[in-house]
Amino acid sequence: MRHVRTFVVAVVGGTVLALGIALIVLPGPAFLVIPAGLAILAMEFAWARRWLRSARAVLVRRTGNESAPRKKITVQSARRSAGFLFRQMRRTLWPNGKHS
């Protein structure tokens, strides 16, 4: 029975951890999913407990005195983003350039 539990924890935790790693490049909350996967894996594996401990230490240090630098949203960046979205929408709705 112990082996079954270890296997289930490894599969579920590994899947959640892999999803979190994929969310680093895909849109999604990777910073929430990766620790969740590590927490699941930490129920059975010592290496996951160590990684989770170090992740918590980094989080505490990061949220301590310093905050993440804010990105400035300028008029130029907003114009460029709006123009890009408009062009993509136009290309999607009218792929041949005809508006009929």
Residue 26 lies in a domain: yes
- Does residue 94 fall inside a structural domain? no
- The DSSP secondary structure of 33-88, one letter per residue, reads HHHHHHHHHHTT-HHHHHHHHHHHHHHHHHHSS--PPPPP--HHHHHHHHHHHHHH
In the structure encoding, which two tokens stand for residue 35, read together?
């620790």
Domain total in the chain: 1
Would 96 be classed as within a structural domain? no
**Which tens digit of pLDDT belongs to each residue from 58-86?**
766 665 555 556 667 788 878 888 888 88
For residue 29, pLDDT beyond 70: yes
For the chain, the average pLDDT equals 81
Q: Which residue segment(s) compose the domain that 28 sits in?
A: 2-67
In a domain, 47, yes or no: yes
Q: Is residue 9 a part of any domain in this protein?
A: yes
Residue 83 domain-assigned?
A: no
Give the residue from 19, 23, 62, 54 showing the smallest Cα distance to 37: 19
CA distances from 38 to 13, 29, 43, 83, 100 (A): 7, 15, 9, 41, 54
pTM of the predicted protein model: 0.56
